[in-house]
Structure 1
Amino acid sequence: MKNFALIGASGYIAPRHMRAIKDTGNRLSAAYDVNDSVGIIDSLAPDADFFTDFECFYEHSQTLKRSPAQALDYVAVCSPNHLHHAHIAAGLRLGCNVICEKPLVPTPELINELTRVEKETGQRVYNILQLRHHDAIVQLRNKVANAPQDTKFDVDLTYITSRGKWYAASWKGDPRKSFGVATNIGVHFFDMLHFIFGALQRNDVHYSQADKAGGYLEYERARVRWFLSIDASDLPPEVQGKKPTYRSIDVSGEQLEFSEGFTDLHTTSYQQILASRGYGLEDARHCIETVHTIRNATLQTGSLGEVHPFVAQLARRGPHP
C-alpha cells in the first residue's frame, strides 16, 4: 500500500483521483485545498488529514517522513493550472513521485525546469493522459499505423461544452491562470491527436477569443481542422436546448465514437503509473508545445478547406461581441 497526498481536493477532477487511489488499493493520507467543500473525502478516504493552509500541509507531509509506514510515496496535483508547476516541484522536494492533471505546465521551458528538479530529487513526474488508454483511441491508432504510410487522414475536431457565467468569475475564466480555452479544454485532445497521428508539422490559428478558438493542425498522418468553445450559442441547432455539450471527431468521413468508457480511465492511468509504465514529462511535451504555440500565434486567414466550418460560420456572423 502506497501513501498519497492530494493537492487541490475540492475541484471537479479531484474525486477521480481519490477513487483511483482507493481502487488501486492505496491510501489517501493527506489532502489540501484553500476551499473546504471537500465532503466527498468522507466516502473515499475518511481518515485523510485535511488542510486549507499549504504551509501546514507541507509541514505535516515533512513530519510523516519520520515513520516509514506513514511517509508519503506520491503526491497527486489537481490544483488550478497556474499552480501546477509550483505544486509539482513541492511534491518532488517532499521526496515523492508526482501525478499531475492536464495541462501539466503552460510552457516547454517549465517542463525543462521540472526535468532538472526530477534529477535533483531522484523522483518522477507523471501526467494524466487518460485518452491514450481509451479503447476507441487505441483502435484508431492501430488503424492509422496499419494504413499505407502515404495515407493522410482528414479530421474535423469539434468540442463545445457550455459554461455559465460562473466560469468567467472563476480561475478558469482568467487566462493568466487557465491559459485560455484552447489549453484548458483542449490540451487532452491535442495529446490524443499526436498519440494517433504522430508529430505535428504545422499549427495555424484562425480564430481566438476568451470563449472559443479554432485552427488547423497538420500531423505526419493527418490534416486536422479544430474548433473548441464554451459558448452555448455555438451548439448546432439540433443540439441547442437539448444538451449542453457537443463533441464530434470525424476521421475521413467516419465518426470516432468514444462517449463511453471514460469512467475508469483515471484508475487505469494510476495502475500504469504504479507499474512504472506511466506517461512522464517528455510524453507531455508535445501537447504543451502545441497549446503554447496556439496561445502565442498570430491569426491566419486560412486556405480554402483548412478553416473549420464553425469558424467559417463565425466569420459570416461578423465581429465577436
Structure 2
Amino acid sequence: MKNFALIGAAGYIAPRHMHAIKDTGNRLAVAYDVNDSVGIIDSISPESEFFTEFERFLEHGYKLKRDVATALNYVSVCTPNYLHHSHIAAGLRLGCDVICEKPLVPTPEMLDELAAVEKETGKRVFNILQLRHHAAILKLRDTVAAASKDTKFDVELTYITSRGKWYAESWKGDPRKSFGIATNIGVHFYDMLHFIFGKLQQNVVHYSGESKAAGYLEYEHARVRWFLSIDANDLPDEVKGKKSTYRNIDISGEQLEFSEGFTDLHTTSYKEILAGRGYGLDDARHCIETVNVIRTAKIAVMGADAHPYAKRLRT
C-alpha cells in the first residue's frame, strides 16, 4: 500500500484521482485545497487529513517522512493549470513521485525545469494521458500502424463543450491561468493525435478567441482540421437544446466513436504508473510543444485546410 497526497481536492477532476488511489489498493493520507468543499472525501477516504493552507500541508508532509510507514510515496496534482509547475516541484522535493493532470505545464522550458528537479530529487513526474488507454483509440492506432508508410488520413476534429457564464469568472476563463481554450480543453486531443498519427510536421492557427479556436495540424500520417469551442451557439442544429456537448472525429469518412469507456481510465493510468509504465515528461513534451505554438502563432489566412466551422468566423 502506497501513501498518497492530493493537491487540489476540491476540483472537478479530483474525485477521479481519489477513486483511482482507492481502487488500486492505496491510501489517500492527506489532501489540500484552498477551498473546503471537499465532502466527497467522506465517501472515499474519510480518514484522510485535510488542509486549506499550503504551508500546513507541506509541514505535515515533512513530518510524515520521519516514519517509513507513514512517509508519502506519491503526490497527485489536480490544481489550476498555472499552479501545476510549482506544485509538481513541491511534491518532488517532498521526496515523492508526482502524478499530474493535463496540461502538465504550458511551455517546453518549464518541462526542462521539471526535468532538472527530477534529477535533483531522484523522483519522477507522471502525466495523466488517459486517452492513450482508451480501447477505441488503441484500435485506431493499430489500424494506422498497419497502413502503408506513405498513407495520410484526412481527419476533422470538432469538440464543442458548452460552458456557462461561470466559466469566464473562474480561473479557466483567465488565459494567464488556463493558458487559453486550445490548451485547457484541447491538450489531450493533441496528445491523442500524436499518439495515433506520429510526429507533428505543420501547425497552423486559423482562429483564436476567448471561447473558441481552430486550426490545421499535419502529422506523419494525418492531415487534421480542428475546431474547439465552449460556446453553445457553435453546436450543430441537430444537437442544440438536446445536448450541451458535441464531439466528432471523422477519419477519412469514418467516425471515431469513443464517447463511452472513459469511466475507469484514471484508474487504468494509476495502475500503469504503479507498475512502472507511466507516461513521463518526455511523453508529454509533444503536446506541450503543440499548444505552446498554438498560443503564440500568428493567425493564418483560411484556405482549404481550414475546418468548416472556422470558415464561419471572422479572424
Alignment TM-score, normalising by the size of structure 2: 0.99
Structure 2 partner of 1:135: 135
Say which SS state the counterpart of residue 309 (structure 1) adopts: coil
Structure 2 partner of 1:310: 309
Say which SS state the counterpart of residue 290 (structure 1) adopts: helix
Is this contact kept in 1: 2:128–2:269, CA < 8 A?
yes
Structure 1 partner of 2:188: 188
AA aligned opposite 1:26: N
AA aligned opposite 1:50: F
Say which SS state the counterpart of residue 226 (structure 2) adopts: strand
CA distance in 2, matches of 1:153, 1:302: 20
CA distance in 1, matches of 2:286, 2:313: 29
Is this contact kept in 1: 2:21–2:270, CA < 8 A?
yes
CA distance in 2, matches of 1:303, 1:150: 24
Say which SS state the counterpart of residue 164 (structure 1) adopts: coil
CA distance in 1, matches of 2:235, 2:83: 32
Residue 314 of structure 1 deviates from its aligned partner by 2.0
Residue 67 of structure 1 deviates from its aligned partner by 1.0
AA aligned opposite 1:72: L
1:17-36 paired onto structure 2 within 5 Å: 17-36=17-36
Structure 2 partner of 1:296: 296
1:271-290 paired onto structure 2 within 5 Å: 271-290=271-290
CA distance in 2, matches of 1:251, 1:18: 35
Structure 1 partner of 2:150: 150
AA aligned opposite 1:262: F
**Is residue 239 of structure 1 aligned with residue 239 of structure 2?**
yes
Is this contact kept in 1: 2:3–2:26, CA < 8 A?
yes
Number of equivalenced pairs: 315
Task: Please give the per-residue CA displacement for 1:139-187, whole angstroms capped at 9, x wherever unaligned.
Answer: 0000000001111000000000000000000000000000000000000
CA distance in 2, matches of 1:165, 1:222: 36
Task: Please give the per-residue CA displacement for 1:181-202, whole angstroms capped at 9, x wherever unaligned.
Answer: 0000000000000000000000
CA distance in 2, matches of 1:156, 1:291: 18
Say which SS state the counterpart of residue 150 (structure 1) adopts: coil
CA distance in 2, matches of 1:156, 1:86: 36
CA distance in 1, matches of 2:303, 2:174: 31
Say which SS state the counterpart of residue 149 (structure 1) adopts: coil
Say which SS state the counterpart of residue 158 (structure 2) adopts: strand
Structure 1 residues not aligned, in runs of 5+: none
Task: Please give the per-residue CA displacement for 1:19-38, whole angstroms capped at 9, x wherever unaligned.
Answer: 00000000000000000000
Residue 5 of structure 1 deviates from its aligned partner by 0.1
1:153-302 paired onto structure 2 within 5 Å: 153-302=153-302
Say which SS state the counterpart of residue 31 (structure 1) adopts: strand
CA distance in 1, matches of 2:108, 2:149: 30
CA distance in 2, matches of 1:266, 1:277: 14
CA distance in 2, matches of 1:181, 1:33: 24
CA distance in 2, matches of 1:283, 1:149: 23
Say which SS state the counterpart of residue 263 (structure 2) adopts: coil
Say which SS state the counterpart of residue 25 (structure 1) adopts: coil
Structure 2 partner of 1:121: 121
CA distance in 2, matches of 1:165, 1:225: 28
Structure 1 vs Structure 2 CA RMSD: 0.6
AA aligned opposite 2:303: S
What percent of counterpart residues are identical? Answer: 75
Say which SS state the counterpart of residue 19 (structure 1) adopts: helix
Structure 2 residues not aligned, in runs of 5+: none
CA distance in 1, matches of 2:188, 2:95: 28
Residue 302 of structure 1 deviates from its aligned partner by 2.8
AA aligned opposite 1:217: L
Alignment TM-score, normalising by the size of structure 1: 0.98
Residue 303 of structure 1 deviates from its aligned partner by 2.5
